[in-house]
Chain A
Amino acid sequence: MNTYSLSILLRRLTAPPGLSGYEDSIAQEVEALWKPLVDQVSRNRLGSVIGFRSGRGAAPRPRLMLVAHQDSIGLMVSGIQEGFLRLTEIGGVDHRILPGQLVQIHGKRTLSAVVVQPPPFLLPPEAQGGSVPLPYLWADTGLEESEVRRWVRVGDPVSFARNYLELGSDLVCSPSLDNRASLCALTLCLQELCSRQPVWDVWAVSSTQEEETLGGAVTSGFQIRPDIAVVIDVTHASGPSTPSHKTYPLGRGVTLGWGPTVHPKLYETFKDLAEKLEIPYKMEPMPRYSGTDADRLQTVAEGIPTMVISIPLRYMHTPVEIVSKKDIQRAARLITEFAATIEIGFMDKLRWEETPKT
């Protein structure tokens, strides 16, 4: 069995486009990486990859579900006119970053294209002045119309050109680091767990369609019915012109979610664990929603105690997302230690203060 370094894992996990709903490329990569690390790898009906590792405790064992979404935001061809491609978005894309962006059109053949902004005099009055809305931008492949029509059809996914970069000593930059950074942490965790003996069953889920419907986590949650779910996602890192009270510095640790989405006792457990392991962390207040898979996972069936761990990321939903490798390692270590040390009777500790004695 090979163990991979963080950099290699990140390169492999950011290479496939894997747009929401069109995730075969990333799902295959995750399957390949996880197969040697767990007892069983399967795919959920909607396309989430599920890795199962049996615990050492006596059956029936409690189940821990670790979730990071595999899908990425991007674009889609919505029309073809004189060889130019009209685009719509998948997930949330700020159209202001698109002009001049290199993209890949995933048609019958993968074509490279550039997103272009037409001059104002070729735009209808409502699209003039200020940024040009997405429906009025074009993608130009440079090919003749007949060629374009041969390879491209309405509905073909369009991803940002891949461009993996290491910046300075600790930062990496790539499209799709939301949420491949977390998927990397989850994979590191599974690698590490190979030499540990967790008593709980561990269900690792690389979830589908988080950016669209949160559908992967909900359906996988219904299928697995975990006793506890831990969602690993990215949060906003501080950077130029970001509000300091809503962002977290890069490279200074993970955040632990706190609010209605998170079970307070789980928060405490993770906080204590982080302190014990001397992993830097910040509480991230989530007064209403977490904005992650956890929001819907929590209310699956009879309800699932849920925790949210986030890795700070700068320039979210752009092709130049930046994360810190150290933060990924910290997230990996935290979930690894949680999974490896959780006791068979942990659920008894997860009670609310008022829980009646039985």
Chain B
Amino acid sequence: MKELLRTLVEIPAPPGYEGLVRNQIREWIEPLVDEIRIDPLGNLLAVRNQANAPRLMLVAHMDEIGLMITHVDQQGFARFVALGGVMPIHCVGGRVRFLNGAQGVIGVEKNPASSEIPPLEKMFIDFGASSVEDCPVRVGDVAVFDRPFLDLGKRVVSKAMDDRVGVAVLIETLRRLEQSVFELYFVFSVQEEVGVRGATVAAFGVEPDLGLAVDVTATGDTPKGHRMEVRLGKGPAIKIRDAGMIADPRVVRWMIQTAEKAKIPYQREILEFGGTDARAIQLSRSGVPTGVLSIPCRYIHAPSEMVDMEDVENAVRLLLRLLRTSHPFELM
């Protein structure tokens, strides 16, 4: 699964421009599903039929945070804005790669108070160009962080773990899955990082009875880090709440009971910031009971996001068990 993850994280896919990763996923999963299609906003929808079964929508988002060029000056330096939650602290000195292949480094205007983190407006991208003409990008071009995959053994590091690790979990689940008690919609969504937009329309189109997002969550196990209980390597997290939603307590119970029965390690997650595609599913149409299976991840939205391969493996195992276990509550 490490190789699957490596391939996925190295493909650039900023919000709204997910084509490359979508093509790769499609190529892999097309033989594994009964039906596959792309919706008007670019979500990839793959279906595993099951007659007379409740419909479960599983979602992992394809996009990663990125940036867009707003201006190229006479000397060939380019200004940019963020697509999604790019944090200035991670930018200075960073390298970016554009969909057209161009690469550049992020520089910053002279900063009088060097203790302060300058905002993105004070940064620019240097392509080694010396005029507008030989600058390899133009206004509107998009990029992502450029950083190679790092294998630390049990733990791996890369940009775009958020949420290619979720994508990898869904693909691996699909590969190992035999039977399910659900009709399954595997949705690889677009534009999550700019406000769960892809999942909003996908949920409307799919009309699920039940929803489950697979995404990353933060951890509280680094020096003077977040005050939260989730730790890397202690198992996938079952979300109870985040800033965007309260996970359906019935779904939470179903997930916990299934994990306990199968003796799969899990953690109870409360995230005080952020949100996932699950919020969009929960509020779709007449409402959908929805939960989130989270992969603990350190340094979210930095160019080096770290996950533990055991958590990833356990997430797949738990998901497989869930797909075989009928949920214990009545759907109306």
Contact = CB atoms under 8 A, between A and B. Distances in A.
B285 A222 contact: yes
Contacts of B282: 46, 213, 215
Nearest to B238: A155
B240 A45 contact: no
Please provide the 8 A-B residue pairs with the shortest distance between their CB atoms, ordered closest to farther: A219-B287, A21-B246, A155-B240, A46-B287, A223-B286, A45-B287, A154-B268, A78-B270
A135 B286 contact: no
A162 to B, nearest CB: 21
A21 B268 contact: no
Nearest to A46: B287
Interface of B: 227-229, 240-241, 244-249, 252, 268, 270, 272, 279, 282-283, 285-289, 331-332
A33 interface: no
Given A86-B227, A155-B240, 7 more contacts: A21-B246, A45-B288, A45-B332, A46-B287, A79-B229, A135-B227, A216-B287
Given A42-B332, A213-B283, A222-B286, A154 B270 contact: yes
A155 B332 contact: no
Nearest to B270: A78
Nearest to B224: A124
Do most interface residues of chain B lie in helix, strand or loop, or is the interface mixed?
loop
A252 interface: no
A215 B281 CA distance: 11
A43 B249 CA distance: 15
Interface of A: 20-22, 42-46, 48, 76, 78-79, 86, 88, 90, 135, 153-155, 209, 212-213, 215-216, 218-220, 222-223
Contacts of B283: 213, 215, 218-219
Given A43-B332, A78-B229, A153 B268 contact: yes
Contacts of B279: 213
A219 B246 contact: no
B117 to A, nearest CB: 18
Contacts of A218: 283
Contacts of B286: 44-45, 219-220, 222-223
16 contacts: A20-B246, A42-B332, A45-B288, A46-B282, A76-B240, A76-B270, A78-B228, A78-B272, A79-B228, A79-B229, A88-B241, A154-B270, A155-B240, A215-B287, A219-B283, A219-B287
A44 B332 contact: yes
Contacts of A154: 229, 240, 268, 270
Contacts of B227: 78-79, 86, 135
Nearest to A219: B287
A45 B251 CA distance: 12
A213 to B, nearest CB: 6
A45 B245 contact: no
Contact of B268 (A45, A48, A155, A212): A155
A212 B246 contact: yes
Contacts of A153: 268
A215 B245 CA distance: 9
B285 A213 contact: no
B289 A219 contact: no
Nearest to A45: B287
